[in-house]
Amino acid sequence: MTKSVILTGLRANNDLTLGNYFGGMLPIIEMAKARSSEYQINMFIPDLHSFTTPINHDELQTQVMNNARLFVAAGLPLDNNEIHLYRQSYISAHSELTWILDCFTGMGEMQRMTQFKDKSNKLSNDAFNATKDEQAESPLVNTAMALESAMHSSERISVGLFNYPVLMAADILLYDALYVPVGDDQTQHLEYTRDIAERMNSKFGSIFTVPLAAPKQHEFFGKGQGLRIMDLQTPSKKMSKSDESGKGVIFLSDDPKLAAKKVMSATTDDLALIAFDRKNQPGITNLLEILSLLRGTPLDDVVAEFEGHTRYGDFKKVVANEVEGFLTNFQANLSEVDDSKVLEKLESSEIAMRASANKTLLRAQRAVGLRPKE
Ligand code: TRP
């Protein structure tokens, strides 16, 4: 009997935060390890998706390898044969199936995708602001420039960004994946994947396995604890790499001593009494949560240990030390990751995955008449 497939795209970049680590990477790795005896686990690096918005192409190779190394440093095993780790672009069936699906996908369907709307708006706004900065004060010139920048921005929004979800559907359908753990921002893409799979199946007979709908995915994976590490300076907002000052954000690449300093200068409150209270003491509460994650001990235990203490400085010192130790350790792991082992894993997974992707592709090609029927 073949095993059901769990599939996920490992999006990572070079400036991951502590929030990304605990909220994204670690849960996915633990899931893979825990499920790999009963399921086939497909983890891949979506390199073709990486330039739907502009990037520096000279850095892409390094980034892809770094992406893999980060997951390995965080504990992804390379010696588990049920966990496949591969690069999307190394399996050409992804691109080929995308084209076929493109031709059965409506423009309107893609236009409705919120991620497309958000990202394309951002690109237009950036273009508009760039033009505005250069422009003269005259209102007439303003209008002309605004028009021009609107034209420019539609040139900047790539067709790739537009049909991003089609490639994502191909990623999933090629491997008959039933389970796809996705965050809320990807739910719409999963829904589209189900729609296009059902559409093709009903037009051509069964080609694709339809992945489960989002609520079923959440049931299967558990909806997390809504884990959110907050910004150290502004604990009412999520820790995010786009934060400008970077003072409230801990990056996995931070100098451990510097990160410890960030903890020491975290915003707290003037109640001078440690309590777990998201609403009234968000800063202290965030530090309690961070400490519990770093130590890997239940939050209740950490709260019990510090509740009622009055000296925030002492408590911060504990958290700061823990952060420093964690980063020192993580960075040591990262530098020890053996690139040749990573490459070996990628290449062997790619051989196996190419074979199974090509089977599905052939089914689709036969169905649409590109290959003779069996
Ligand atoms: N779009 C996903 C993200 O932004 C990454 C991704 C690409 C993916 N293809 C996928 C995730 C297929 C799951 C399945 O996070």
Portion of the chain with pLDDT greater than 90, in percent: 81
Last residue of a domain, one of 142, 157, 172: 157
44 and 130 co-located in one domain: no
166 and 216 co-located in one domain: yes
Ligand 1 pocket test, pick from 5, 8, 44 with the greatest ligand atom count within 8 Å of Cβ, gives: 8
295 and 208 co-located in one domain: no
Q: Any idea what the Cα angle at residue 187 is, between residues 186 and 190, rounded to 5°?
A: 90
State the residue range of the domain holding 130: 115-157
179 and 306 co-located in one domain: no
Last residue of a domain, one of 157, 175, 191: 157
Q: What is the pLDDT of residues 256-278, one digit of tens each?
A: 999 999 999 999 999 999 999 99
pLDDT at position 129, please?
Answer: 76
- The catalytic residues are 119, 238, 241
In a domain, 240, yes or no: no
326 and 344 co-located in one domain: no
Domain count, the chain: 3
CA end-to-end span of the chain:
24
Read off the CATH number of the domain in which 319 is found: 1.10.240.10
Q: What is the pLDDT of residues 72-103, one digit of tens each?
A: 999 999 999 999 999 999 999 999 999 999 99
In a domain, 56, yes or no: yes
57 and 191 co-located in one domain: yes
Give the distance (Å) from ligand 1 centre to CA of residue 12.
11
Read off the CATH number of the domain in which 73 is found: 3.40.50.620
Measured by CA distance, the residue closest to atom 3 of ligand 1 is 11
In a domain, 249, yes or no: no
Give the distance (Å) from ligand 1 centre to CA of residue 169.
9
308 and 287 co-located in one domain: yes
49 and 86 co-located in one domain: yes
3-class SS string, 156-168: HCCHHHHCHHHHH
In a domain, 242, yes or no: no
In a domain, 282, yes or no: yes
Tokens at residue 333, please?
A: 């792991």
In a domain, 205, yes or no: yes
76 and 172 co-located in one domain: yes
260 and 129 co-located in one domain: no
Atom of ligand 1 nearest to the CA of 8: 13
Q: What is the pLDDT of residues 231-254, one digit of tens each?
A: 999 999 999 887 777 899 999 999
pLDDT band at 351 (very low <50, low <70, confident <90, very high): very high
Measured by CA distance, the residue closest to atom 9 of ligand 1 is 168
Q: What is the pLDDT of residues 318-330, one digit of tens each?
A: 999 999 999 999 9
Measured by CA distance, the residue closest to atom 4 of ligand 1 is 11
Give the distance (Å) from ligand 1 centre to CA of residue 201.
23
Q: Which residues line ligand 1 (CB under 6 A)?
A: 7-9, 11, 46, 49, 168, 171-172, 180, 182, 186
Give the distance (Å) from ligand 1 centre to CA of residue 87.
13
138 and 200 co-located in one domain: no
Measured by CA distance, the residue closest to atom 14 of ligand 1 is 8
pLDDT at position 374, please?
Answer: 86
Give the distance (Å) from ligand 1 centre to CA of residue 280.
36
121 and 90 co-located in one domain: no
In a domain, 373, yes or no: no
3-class SS string, the chain: CCCCEEEEECCCCCCCEHHHHHHHHHHHHHHHHHHCCCCEEEEEECCHHHHCCCCCHHHHHHHHHHHHHHHHHCCCCCCCCCEEEEEHHHCCHHHHHHHHHHCCCCHHHHHCCHHHHHHHHHHHHHHHHHHHHHCCCCHHHHHHHHHHHHHHHHHHCCHHHHCHHHHHHHHHHCCCEEECCCCHHHHHHHHHHHHHHHHHHHHHCCCCCCCCCHHHHHHHHCCCCCCCCECCCCCCCECCCCCCCCCCCCECCCCHHHHHHHHHCCCCCCCCCCCCCCCCCHHHHHHHHHHHHHHCCCHHHHHHHHCCCCCHHHHHHHHHHHHHHHHHHHHHHHHHCCHHHHHHHHHHHHHHHHHHHHHHHHHHHHHCCCCCCC
pLDDT at position 363, please?
Answer: 98
Q: In the predicted model, is pLDDT for residue 7 greater than 80?
A: yes
Residue 22: how many other CB atoms lie within 10 Å: 18
In a domain, 241, yes or no: no
Q: In the predicted model, is pLDDT for residue 138 greater than 80?
A: no
Across all residues in the chain, what is the average pLDDT? 92
Q: In the predicted model, is pLDDT for residue 225 greater than 60?
A: no
The rounded distance, in Å, linking the Cα atoms of 309 and 302 is 12
